[in-house]
Chains A and B, each alone.
Chain A
């Protein structure tokens, strides 16, 4: 008889594992064994809870108590107090119950529904929360056309960034002529700062396999491929385990659940090329070649992998499929805005208090995500902008915090939804420098096929470097705009078509910052070191010589008890004197 009275769930997402959550689990198990409680208390590693800022996270059921920043040393007190005596350990608490934590209050978890609830390495856990029920219902009671009808009716759009209607994509692939077809799951999550796909694969891998099988049934494919970054070893491992389990249970393979439908899934590893997130590049890579894009049309739905009709969807898109089948198209289309349906997962990061993964209904106010869920800007600094859409997106300024989060509104700001990265920036971040950072990324990642992207982005990067060093002219700004527009029009794939967005959007919203760099030779945020000028305020200096002694050049002169001076021509702007001065007599401008 099952006498387990308590479950302790330890977060096994990459963020928490990096802060020793595996050791926390081991320590808890050790303590429980020591007290002979192994038949009463079960310790489970689960997927990402999303609240990465406070990791490692331990959740206790059925009391529903949420512990944060747990260290292996805390295992003793958790077991001794909470497990044995039933007393909640206050010092590790974030709030009374998870629903009271503002971070979770405004969220609506569909794609992340099982992350942090089930053991991703146990297919029984997944089955117990209605896993594979959707596939069962599809195979026993629906025609492929009906499945496509439900997905179309739900209004689900591609979550990789484009927002293309998923149902339509399936329909086109289903209608394409061909004896052999493929389903691909795009898990090449290359956008720096976005990690929702990885979290879903790590926390709920079966939901992706089930959805891929449903897609296979709908489009008439018997083979699926997950193309995943080699940089995600934990996700790859859990996905492979899930495939093996599903095959052992007969939920993947031949004649699934006694039907005529057969479906298999294989894993292909990427190798660190951002452009492979683009579907035609991805397919070239799966075929063993360089991941360069090709002209569309023909679209993958007609000529895809190995020239066969292929439906290619992103991880988060797949994560929405099973709930739609189980709850119906109307349920899903009732969530969100008129044009953007359902929820979207965002990875909140940067200068924000609650870094983590959040899932909210489309149409939520941008400011609500940043302040109500994200807890506002760190260290009491002021909010400057939020970058969405990664290297393809743009920066949204403080004046636009009231916009609604949906595909259309974000595009109107000059940014885009993208894969859902949201990097918050404060007063210390220089927008010119950020634009330069993203361009550095695209210059690195451009595959080189189209000249405007390969060379144009490099030229834009050179201009930005010049501006951040104080050598820019106002003509440069016009040139940036021209180049940007040309690159967008003349590039073949999404990478080039969106690469100039970070520059164009900051030019639009933060023109004055560019001007300050060029006209006043000044970086308002104090981030561009070469434009900084350190000076000693004579009235404050006490002549302690600390700055002169710490200067690595050295370029500070002055005798004891007398006012010091910085020789500007020699200064390398390292900022050490600024940090060392005990009386704040050094000014940085």
Chain B
């Protein structure tokens, strides 16, 4: 889903207009934009630069500095494998590897059909449940490599169902 300038929703502009014209609003604007589009393509970055009257290079610099901001779209189901220390010592690496082979993509990548994206993330703070995997915010605890297939299956089914509903 490439985004061209015309697709920038008025909501972002409304948000920018609602802010006090003070310095330091770039981060909140980027958070809002990512909430709206799911990622921050160059067109959106340029638009923000123009609206805030700051160089596009500065926007780009900030976006790329923070790992929370992403410049490429994510899949419909965002799989995050926690690689915090607690999960690491309870063998999260093996879980991540299994997801890679199951989905056929590497960490930080998205599947060709835009269904799944896979990320290694740092500590969701549910260390009691290590190793932890989250899919679109839903947390799975004490995941063993052999559970991976079932989790992926669950979302494949869900993905199919949603498509059905759209057809109605």
Contacts and interface: CB of A to CB of B under 8 A. Distances in A.
A–B: direct contact at CB < 8 Å: yes
B65 A290 contact: yes
Interface in A266-308: 268-274, 285-291, 306
B31 A15 contact: no
A191 B125 CA distance: 10
Contact of B67 (A55, A272, A285): A272
A194 B122 CA distance: 11
Contact of B124 (A14, A288, A289, A306): A14
B85 A349 contact: yes
Interface in B63-119: 65-69, 83-86, 88-90
B129 A15 contact: yes
B85 A291 contact: no
Nearest to B31: A269
Contact of A289 (B62, B121, B127): B62
B68 A193 contact: no
Contacts of B36: none
A325 interface: no
A364 to B, nearest CB: 21
A271 B69 contact: yes
B67 A355 contact: no
B85 A193 contact: yes
A347 B127 contact: yes
Contact of A195 (B27, B58, B127, B139): B127
Contacts of B126: 14-15, 18, 52
A356 B67 contact: no
A588 B58 CA distance: 53
A350 B69 contact: no
A31 to B, nearest CB: 25
B62 A272 contact: no
B125 A271 contact: no
Nearest to B24: A288
A434 B58 CA distance: 36
A394 to B, nearest CB: 13
Nearest to B84: A192
Nearest to B63: A271
- Chain B contact-residue range equals 35 or more
B61 interface: yes
Given A192-B123, A269-B28, A273-B65, A437 B88 contact: yes
* Most chain B beta-carbon neighbours within 10 Å: one of A18, A285, A355: A18
A18 B141 contact: yes
B125 A15 contact: yes
Contacts of B68: 230-231, 270-273
Contact of B27 (A231, A269, A441): A269
Nearest to B64: A290
B132 interface: yes
Contact of B122 (A387, A429, A441): A441
A390 interface: yes
A287 B89 CA distance: 37
Nearest to B61: A290
B85 A19 contact: no
* Most chain A beta-carbon neighbours within 10 Å: one of B31, B65, B127, B129: B127
A393 B31 CA distance: 32
B8 interface: no
A351 B127 CA distance: 11
B62 A18 contact: no
B24 A287 contact: yes
Nearest to A347: B127
B164 interface: no
A421 B85 contact: yes
Contacts of B67: 271-273
Contacts of A169: none
* Most chain A beta-carbon neighbours within 10 Å: one of B31, B86, B132: B86
B128 A55 contact: yes
Interface in B9-64: 23-28, 30-31, 58, 61-62
A434 to B, nearest CB: 8
A447 B61 CA distance: 12
A271 B68 CA distance: 5
Contacts of A349: 85-86, 127-128, 130
A447 to B, nearest CB: 7
Contact of B127 (A288, A290, A355): A355
B103 to A, nearest CB: 18
Given A271-B68, A347-B127, A351-B90, A286 B141 contact: no
A423 interface: yes
A290 B69 CA distance: 12
A437 B93 CA distance: 11
A55 B126 CA distance: 11
B122 A350 contact: no
A463 interface: no
Contacts of B30: 271
A167 interface: no
A390 B124 CA distance: 15
Given A193-B85, A351-B90, A52 B24 contact: no
A14 B125 contact: yes
B66 A272 contact: yes
Given A15-B125, A349-B127, A271 B84 contact: no
A425 interface: yes
B81 to A, nearest CB: 13
B128 A425 contact: no
A349 B125 CA distance: 10
Interface string A429-452: 100001001100100000100000
A229 to B, nearest CB: 9
25 contacts: A14-B126, A15-B126, A15-B129, A17-B139, A191-B123, A192-B85, A192-B86, A194-B123, A230-B68, A268-B28, A269-B28, A269-B31, A270-B66, A272-B66, A273-B66, A274-B122, A288-B26, A288-B62, A289-B62, A291-B65, A306-B23, A355-B86, A355-B128, A434-B89, A441-B122
Given A15-B128, A193-B86, A195-B123, 17 more contacts: A15-B127, A192-B122, A193-B85, A193-B127, A195-B127, A198-B125, A231-B124, A271-B66, A273-B65, A286-B24, A288-B24, A289-B58, A290-B62, A350-B127, A429-B89, A437-B88, A438-B85
